[in-house]
Chain A
Amino acid sequence: MKGLLSVAIAAGLWGTTALAEVTVNSVMQSGLRILDPVITTTFITRYHGFMIYDTLIAQDAALEPRPQMADWTVSEDGRRYTFRLRDGLKFHDGAEVTSADVVSSIRRWGQKDAGGQVIFERTEALETPDARTIVWTLRRPMPSMLAILSKQSSLPLFIMPARVAATPADQAITDYTGSGPFKLVTSEFRPGVSVTYEKFADYQPRPEPADGLAGGKVVNVDRVKWINMPDIQTAVGAISSGEIDYIEQMPVDLLPLVEGDPNVIVENRANSEMQIMARMNFIHPPFDNPLIRQAALEAVSQAPVLAAIVGDERYYRTCGAVLGCDTPYGSEAESASLTEGSGLKKAKALLKDAGYDGTPVVFLAPTDNASLATQPVTVAQMLRNAGFTVELQSMDWQTLVSRRASQAAPRDGGWNMFVTNWMVIDIANPITNAMLNGNGSDAWFGWPNDAVIEALKANFTDTEALEDRRKIGAQIQSHALDNVLEIPLGQYTLPQARRATITEMIDAPTPVFWNLHKAE
């Protein structure tokens, strides 16, 4: 009897082990609230998109376009792209993915994405000769076409069912059927609190090994749960105790709490650097005067800004490139004063030449956003040192983002300057870099009216050879700094932390959960 009981218990335990689900518990940078990856550019919604949707084509580890749902051919004249969907593509509801789904998704995405808008300006026809083929014909060649279609930031081209993609681009979707490697568990979605994904059993991975966001998306776990923890100290405690497996962004000042723990691995993700930058308002004094903008650029030094926000030199570096450092088109030309901090004397001289009359610089400073709170204080002091009158106005980030949309004069609720951070992969391409829009009131906040930058970007769009594009990148750099379209303030990264039980995580700027294994 005793023996039988032992066997029964052992069998029960074996059964439990065999049936136990493997769940990866993660703390991402913020809570997921918006589920439509076309309506918003927030990072967390994009990450969600990569979980449940697949992309037409994808970027590999070197950020080069690779086939994903489809492979492609390009006509000799460079105007016609033919995409052919691969076998076995299914949506989560069991329906097959067709070219009609792809075209609907492209059209909805193209209304919102800056790169997509440029492609559609050149589109002659977008057709579906059969259920597996998409033919996209342009009026003239566009060498950036595949780079834009494969990009992972800020609005990637996710493929949805045609019925979902028929939703107007400004209206949020309510049907979350995708064809990606994971399915959203809608019954467990708590906006801003937690979201659960389960493995999509019918997903057919590509045969090649995973390479960046391209290649075979093989899911080796049953579920992935993102738990939002507003207090990072709590997240650190939870990863130490093994309650969670992964923290996407670890603040550098908390690293000593986990760096000595053999169960926790801290590492930088490839291409996940952020660029800090100051943006000015071009339509009001004093920064409507290019000489005064130039004086501000000369007055600023990156090292103190980076030290104030990050502190640990392992995680930041000076970089004067408006298209980012270590990117295909990034150039640091004419940025020595920023990276070396040697421009104070010149700044004072420029202010004198410009006849600066002491017009206050209204500088918006968020106090509730840890990644943006220290930069304005440091930059404001540098401007004061050069002779600027600076009025640092403290507010919460939400107030700042609505205030920066105001084109009113600074004294009437407008502004002169604010600081923001961008992921380097977002700003590495001049076509999608929002700071390099020079189309006046339609441009990004600050509204520069700059025909030269628009012409340089058009030239870049038409140019195919990498060397030629690099030359244009250098021209863009010179022009952007001469006219101070922004002030680059350096690059930093926040490392990720994972339990040692999590292995083979893909090293990409977008954290993804296929390919990885979780040991018991």
Chain B
Amino acid sequence: MFGYMLRRALAVLPVMMLVALFVFLLLRLSPGDPAAIIAGDMATPAQLAQIRELMGLNQPLYLQFFIWLGDLLRGDLGVSLISHTPVAQMIADRIGPTLSIALLTMLISILLAIPMGILAAWRHRKLVDHLVMTFSVLGFSVPVFVTGYVFVLVFSLKLGWFPVQGFTPISAGLWPFLKTATLPALTLTTIYVALTARMTRANLLDVLGEDYIRTARAKGGSEMRVLFRHALKNAAVPILTVIGTGFALLIGGVVVTETVFNIPGIGRLTVDAILARDYPVIQAVILLTSFLYVLINLIIDLSYSLFDPRIRY
């Protein structure tokens, strides 16, 4: 297992390097100018050129890349071109809300989706199954911003249970955190419950048709024991994959939810940075997201062996 982990960790380096190069070139070759944001509308071309020079944006592309790479290898993510704040600090400020919402979403999704999927598979083609499938279709079809606004209208403006916007970290207390995190998490949950419930149902149905399930039933095992001890454990690997990749997607893709609920997370930081062409911030955020994808994939791969003893590293 240790050898496998080491090999996987080493394989990350060239991937990250390629990502870094790709992101750097893509940003520099796309049009847009951070100097224009700083200078504002009144600026003359001469003033713009002066600001570009101060920012080092007039240097040759390869030089800019190597300076950035050198800083990166020393653990320095640079400074925002627009706000002059260290990028590491900006990410540290923003990662908390995103991770909190993502974890809460996954927690609610798993708690709801797996029982729903099991129920649907167990009561295949019965009313419960149809209800779960209908909910899944709705969960996929309704855009996140629509769900978000409906939740705000009902739970915030009409019932007054939750605030319309904002985020309180869990360090300020569980209840204050839940007050601000529940609606965004529930909004995202509609998608992930749909996805995970469908996956659980489909895999369980496959497994329930296997010979060893028939054998387990023939040996007199109760339906619950067959379902949870035999079927669910064997259906777990693809479900884990969906949960893991879903979590990675959540971290990178909660822009709409963060905007609707005004949560200062990584998604909004990325969009703001792209709109402002704040190169150091965009580069760092994309690198971080890529790294998290690789890390989550590794964790998923390693966890397979817990559920399927045939898998060894």
On whether the beta carbons of A405 and B33 are closer than 8 Å, the reply is yes
Query: B210 — which chain A residues lie within 8 A by C-beta?
Result: none
Can you offer 11 A-B residue contacts whose CB atoms are under 8 A?
A: A40-B39, A190-B93, A191-B82, A191-B90, A227-B262, A237-B157, A240-B164, A398-B32, A401-B37, A405-B33, A444-B42
Query: B84 — which chain A residues lie within 8 A by C-beta?
Result: 172, 174
A312 and B157 alpha carbons, distance in the complex (Å): 27
- The yes or no answer to A139 lying at the interface (CB within 8 A) is no
On whether the beta carbons of B40 and A42 are closer than 8 Å, the reply is yes
A405 and B32 alpha carbons, distance in the complex (Å): 11
On whether the beta carbons of B149 and A192 are closer than 8 Å, the reply is no
How extensive is the interface on chain A, given as a class?
Answer: 35 or more
Query: B211 — which chain A residues lie within 8 A by C-beta?
Result: none
Smallest Cβ distance from A28 to chain B, in angstroms? 14
Smallest Cβ distance from B29 to chain A, in angstroms? 12
On whether the beta carbons of B268 and A237 are closer than 8 Å, the reply is no
Task: Identify the interface centre among A35, A193, A229, A407: most chain B CB within 10 Å of its CB.
Answer: A193
A238 and B263 alpha carbons, distance in the complex (Å): 13
Task: Identify the interface centre among A174, A398, A426: most chain B CB within 10 Å of its CB.
Answer: A398
A170 and B54 alpha carbons, distance in the complex (Å): 8
A240 and B165 alpha carbons, distance in the complex (Å): 12
Smallest Cβ distance from A359 to chain B, in angstroms? 23
- The yes or no answer to A399 lying at the interface (CB within 8 A) is yes
A407 and B49 alpha carbons, distance in the complex (Å): 13
Known contacts A174-B84, A243-B165, A442-B44; is A403 also within 8 Å of B260 by CB? no
Known contacts A241-B160, A241-B163; is A192 also within 8 Å of B272 by CB? yes
| Interface contacts beyond A154-B40, A192-B83, A241-B157: sample of 12 additional A-B pairs, CB < 8 Å, sorted by A | A41-B39, A227-B166, A231-B262, A234-B152, A237-B164, A237-B165, A396-B275, A398-B275, A398-B276, A402-B36, A405-B48, A444-B44
Of all chain A residues, which has the CB nearest B166? A243
Selected from B40, B54, B85, the residue in CB contact (under 8 A) with A41 is: B40
The 3 closest A-B pairs by CB, nearest first: A41-B40, A191-B83, A402-B33
- The yes or no answer to B45 lying at the interface (CB within 8 A) is yes
Query: A122 — which chain B residues lie within 8 A by C-beta?
Result: none
A41 and B272 alpha carbons, distance in the complex (Å): 19
Chain B, 259-279, contact with A by CB distance < 8 Å: what is the 0/1 string?
A: 111101000110110011100
Query: A234 — which chain B residues lie within 8 A by C-beta?
Result: 152, 164-165, 259-262
Chain B, 15-49, contact with A by CB distance < 8 Å: what is the 0/1 string?
A: 00000000000000011110011111111111110
- The yes or no answer to B298 lying at the interface (CB within 8 A) is no
Query: B40 — which chain A residues lie within 8 A by C-beta?
Result: 40-42, 154
Known contacts A231-B260, A237-B157; is A368 also within 8 Å of B48 by CB? no
A403 and B45 alpha carbons, distance in the complex (Å): 11
Query: B82 — which chain A residues lie within 8 A by C-beta?
Result: 33-34, 191
How extensive is the interface on chain B, given as a class?
Answer: 35 or more
Chain A, 444-471, contact with B by CB distance < 8 Å: what is the 0/1 string?
A: 1100000000000000000000000000
On whether the beta carbons of B164 and A420 are closer than 8 Å, the reply is no
Of all chain A residues, which has the CB nearest B268? A230
Known contacts A33-B276, A234-B165, A243-B166; is A41 also within 8 Å of B43 by CB? yes
A98 and B114 alpha carbons, distance in the complex (Å): 70
Query: B260 — which chain A residues lie within 8 A by C-beta?
Result: 231, 233-234
A401 and B43 alpha carbons, distance in the complex (Å): 11
- The yes or no answer to A178 lying at the interface (CB within 8 A) is no
On whether the beta carbons of B149 and A422 are closer than 8 Å, the reply is no
Query: B39 — which chain A residues lie within 8 A by C-beta?
Result: 40-41
Smallest Cβ distance from B158 to chain A, in angstroms? 10
Selected from A39, A40, A155, A441, the residue in CB contact (under 8 A) with B45 is: A441
On whether the beta carbons of B33 and A398 are closer than 8 Å, the reply is yes
Chain B, 82-99, contact with A by CB distance < 8 Å: what is the 0/1 string?
A: 111100001001000000
Query: B41 — which chain A residues lie within 8 A by C-beta?
Result: 41, 154, 420, 422, 434
- The yes or no answer to A500 lying at the interface (CB within 8 A) is no
Query: B286 — which chain A residues lie within 8 A by C-beta?
Result: none
From residue 402 to 452 of chain A, which have CB atoms closer than 8 A to chain B?
Answer: 402-403, 405, 407, 420, 422, 426, 434, 441-445
A420 and B37 alpha carbons, distance in the complex (Å): 15
Chain B, 208-227, contact with A by CB distance < 8 Å: what is the 0/1 string?
A: 00000000000000000000
On whether the beta carbons of B42 and A434 are closer than 8 Å, the reply is yes
Smallest Cβ distance from A196 to chain B, in angstroms? 14
- The yes or no answer to A181 lying at the interface (CB within 8 A) is no
Smallest Cβ distance from A349 to chain B, in angstroms? 35
The total of Cβ contacts below 8 Å across the A-B interface reads 131
From residue 106 to 161 of chain B, which have CB atoms closer than 8 A to chain A?
Answer: 149, 152-153, 156-157, 160
A465 and B166 alpha carbons, distance in the complex (Å): 54
Selected from B45, B83, B164, B271, the residue in CB contact (under 8 A) with A33 is: B83
Of all chain A residues, which has the CB nearest B272? A192
On whether the beta carbons of A170 and B51 are closer than 8 Å, the reply is yes
- The yes or no answer to A395 lying at the interface (CB within 8 A) is yes
From residue 263 to 313 of chain B, which have CB atoms closer than 8 A to chain A?
Answer: 264, 268-269, 271-272, 275-277
- The yes or no answer to B100 lying at the interface (CB within 8 A) is no
- The yes or no answer to A114 lying at the interface (CB within 8 A) is yes
On whether the beta carbons of A395 and B272 are closer than 8 Å, the reply is no
Query: B164 — which chain A residues lie within 8 A by C-beta?
Result: 234, 237-238, 240-241, 243
Known contacts A40-B38, A240-B157; is A443 also within 8 Å of B44 by CB? yes
A170 and B50 alpha carbons, distance in the complex (Å): 7
Smallest Cβ distance from A111 to chain B, in angstroms? 10
Chain A, 35-57, contact with B by CB distance < 8 Å: what is the 0/1 string?
A: 10001111000000000000000
On whether the beta carbons of A237 and B31 are closer than 8 Å, the reply is no
Query: A434 — which chain B residues lie within 8 A by C-beta?
Result: 41-42
On whether the beta carbons of B44 and A238 are closer than 8 Å, the reply is no
Smallest Cβ distance from A362 to chain B, in angstroms? 14
Of all chain A residues, which has the CB nearest B271? A230
- The yes or no answer to B182 lying at the interface (CB within 8 A) is no
On whether the beta carbons of A238 and B276 are closer than 8 Å, the reply is no
- The yes or no answer to B168 lying at the interface (CB within 8 A) is no
- The yes or no answer to B234 lying at the interface (CB within 8 A) is no
A33 and B272 alpha carbons, distance in the complex (Å): 11
- The yes or no answer to B64 lying at the interface (CB within 8 A) is no
A207 and B42 alpha carbons, distance in the complex (Å): 35
Smallest Cβ distance from A515 to chain B, in angstroms? 27
Query: A154 — which chain B residues lie within 8 A by C-beta?
Result: 40-42
A112 and B47 alpha carbons, distance in the complex (Å): 9
Query: A241 — which chain B residues lie within 8 A by C-beta?
Result: 156-157, 160, 163-164
On whether the beta carbons of A399 and B31 are closer than 8 Å, the reply is yes
Query: B272 — which chain A residues lie within 8 A by C-beta?
Result: 31, 192, 230
Smallest Cβ distance from B161 to chain A, in angstroms? 11
A154 and B32 alpha carbons, distance in the complex (Å): 23
Smallest Cβ distance from A30 to chain B, in angstroms? 10
Task: Identify the interface centre among B83, B90, B264: most chain A CB within 10 Å of its CB.
Answer: B83
Query: A420 — which chain B residues lie within 8 A by C-beta?
Result: 41
On whether the beta carbons of A34 and B83 are closer than 8 Å, the reply is yes
A41 and B47 alpha carbons, distance in the complex (Å): 12
Query: A75 — which chain B residues lie within 8 A by C-beta?
Result: none
On whether the beta carbons of B262 and A402 are closer than 8 Å, the reply is no
- The yes or no answer to A16 lying at the interface (CB within 8 A) is no
From residue 112 to 169 of chain A, which have CB atoms closer than 8 A to chain B?
Answer: 112, 114, 154-155
Query: A6 — which chain B residues lie within 8 A by C-beta?
Result: none
- The yes or no answer to A17 lying at the interface (CB within 8 A) is no
Smallest Cβ distance from B253 to chain A, in angstroms? 16
A172 and B38 alpha carbons, distance in the complex (Å): 10
Query: B38 — which chain A residues lie within 8 A by C-beta?
Result: 34, 39-40
A398 and B38 alpha carbons, distance in the complex (Å): 12
